[in-house]
Amino acid sequence: MRLNSHSITSQIIFSLVLSSLFIVTFGTLFQVWYSINHEKRAFIRESRLEADLVVDLITAPLAFFDLQGTMTNMHRLHDNNNVLLAIVYGPDKTLLTSINPSRKPLPTDIFPLGIRYEHPGWNPWKLGKLKNTLEIKQNGQLLGYLYIEKKTERITAFTLQLIKSASLFSILLLFFVYLAAQSLSKKILKPVLSLAKIATTVAESKNYALRVSHNADNEITSLYNAFNQLLADTESLTNHLESRVESRTKELNDSLDTLKKAQVQLIQSEKMAALGNLVSGVAHEVNTPLGNAITGGSIIVRETKELLKQIEEGTLKKSFMEQKLHVLNETADLLLKSINQAANLIRSFKRISVDQSIEEKRDFKLYEYLEEIILTFHNKLKKLPVTVIVDGDHDLVLKSYPGVYAQIISNFVQNSLLHGFNETTHNAIITIYFEIQNKNLLLTYSDNGAGMDEQMRKIAFEPFTTTKRNAGGTGLGLNIVYNLITQKLHGTIELDSEPSKGITLTMTLPLESSNTTNNVTIQA
């Protein structure tokens, strides 16, 4: 039972009753123990005196071997209801005479000498029998032995009566303590409850001009004075609160405007950085197909000149012409493929760069757009190399902000390349998966890179959090992504990662009907 969960009255009563119960219990146990031991000692003293008296009475008859006189003097034990058995033995331990009112079997062993209790077993209420064995002597001569057994029901009855009386006294005492504790708690708590009632009134009415008073000079008065001081301070603060709130609100609004401007600048800076990376990557990618195209054009010019030369000289043969036409055909095919590849790269670059700079809604196929974003990273991805898997409905058309998607995915890929993978990474894989689930677009980005520890995972979306500051990391990428997802797309993002187990970013973006102006719209 938790005492703190109960009222103060209950705590006071419980504490006092428990303390009293502890004191009464141990006091009663001590009193019972002391009284029982006193009664046992008194019973032994009485028994020893009685036995000594009997020994004195039977010594003379026993000296003359007068068994009748011995028996007569022992009959005084009949008057004692506690005596169970009394036996006189000779010096050689032969039975001479006995008193056996209950006709119980005579004992075979009466020793050792002295008085003692014989407990029949562990029973706190019963002491068993009291056995007493004495020597009968005259002038130093051993005449025999006296053995007496007595019952101890008197002590048992005394013990039970003592326990009953002590229990009744304890119950009455605890009841009195309970009543006293209840009365004391009410007396102590009455001014406190009164103060609480006034505090509630002040809280509801907002009337801080109220004051409280207490007619006693004790600790409660100090509490009342402290409460009055608090009311006075609150009244003073309230009177000036409006002007302070107005001033603080203006300061907060100015700070908020500054933060919004800083946020916009950071997002624009991140966009420009992403576009710079995009330009660098596309320029490097375009070099290869353009170089192939130039080489193919040179081959076509050279082979065409040779054909024209032989035609002019009239030495053209069919086999030579077929050979040159075959070379020209292959070269033209390579030239066309290279030009198409360069055109696709430029078209993807143009579309993504325009999307990131304009920030307008338009319809786009998500799968194709994701592939175009990945295409701009082809040069960096093939260095490790990294395999990128895009999985989802190829025909899913969204009406949203494609530039936002480009910035989000670009940040994820750059983080994977900068933090997740390195030259020692084997079978590096990035997976992008999307599906429609419960009227939401569920977009998941994951890699099998280095991952994050628990400490880094908790602060991953906070600004300026990076482990690669010396390698060009600003710590703003994931923070800007978080703001784009939560503010621009009104969605949520969850991060799951463990060291050496990669990272998984799950975005839940709400889908809206075609007449809305925010978030994501799915086209049938």
pLDDT at 2 over 60: no
- Mean local confidence (pLDDT), 26-45: 88
Average pLDDT over residues 512-524: 50
Q: 239-245 long-range CB contacts below 8 Å, 24 or more apart?
A: none
By percentage, how much of the chain surpasses pLDDT 90? 16
pLDDT at site 378: 78
Instruction: Report yes or no on 322 lying in a domain.
Output: no
Residue 121 in any domain: the answer is: yes
Average pLDDT, the chain: 79
Q: How many CB atoms lie within 10 A of CB 199?
A: 15
pLDDT at 516: 41
124: cis peptide before it, omega within 30°?
no
Q: Is pLDDT above 80 for 409?
A: yes
User: What CATH number does the domain containing 112 carry?
Assistant: 3.30.450.20
Q: Which of 176, 195, 211 is the last residue of a domain?
A: 176
pLDDT, tens only, 149-176: 988 888 888 888 888 888 898 888 888 8
Decide if 237 is inside a domain. Answer: no
Q: Which of 127, 150, 176 is the last residue of a domain?
A: 176
- Consecutive H or E run containing 399: strand 397-400
pLDDT-based confidence at residue 515 (cuts at 50, 70, 90): very low
Residue at 294 is within a domain: no
Place of tokens 């409850």: 193
pTM for this one?
A: 0.40
Instruction: List % helix, strand, coil for the chain (3-state, nearest 5).
Output: 60, 15, 25
Could you give the CA distance from residue 480 to residue 506 in angstroms, rounded to a whole number? Answer: 16
pLDDT in tens, 337-382: 667 666 666 665 555 555 555 567 888 999 998 998 888 787 788 8
Residues 339, 293 contacting (CB under 8 angstroms)? yes
Supply the CATH number for residue 510's domain: 3.30.565.10
Residue 250 clears pLDDT 70, i.e. is over it: yes
* Residue 81 near residue 150, CB atoms below 8 Å: no
The answer to whether residue 235 sits within a structural domain is no
Which of 116, 150, 176 is a domain's end point?
176
Most confident of 12-21, 50-59, 181-190, 240-249: 50-59
More confident residue, 30 or 265: 30
Q: What is the pLDDT of residue 522?
A: 60
Q: What pLDDT does 448 receive?
A: 93
Looking at per-residue pLDDT, the higher value among 22 and 294 belongs to: 22
Q: How confident is the model at residue 133 (pLDDT cuts 50, 70, 90)?
A: very high
Q: How far is the C-alpha of 134 from the C-alpha of 48, rounded, in Å?
A: 9
Does residue 471 lie in a domain region?
yes
Q: How many structural domains are present in the chain?
A: 2
Mutual orientation of helices 219-313 and 153-205 as an angle, nearest 10°?
70
Residue of higher predicted confidence among 184 and 216 = 184
Residue 82 belongs to domain spanning: 3-176
Least confident of 282-291, 296-305, 309-318: 282-291
Q: What are the structure tokens assigned to 191, written together?
A: 């001014």
Residue 283 lies in a domain: no
Q: How far is CA 134 from CA 58, 90, 112, 363, in A?
A: 12, 12, 9, 121
Say if 392 falls within a structural domain.
Answer: yes
Q: Which of 44-58, 98-112, 265-279, 499-513 is the least confident region?
A: 265-279
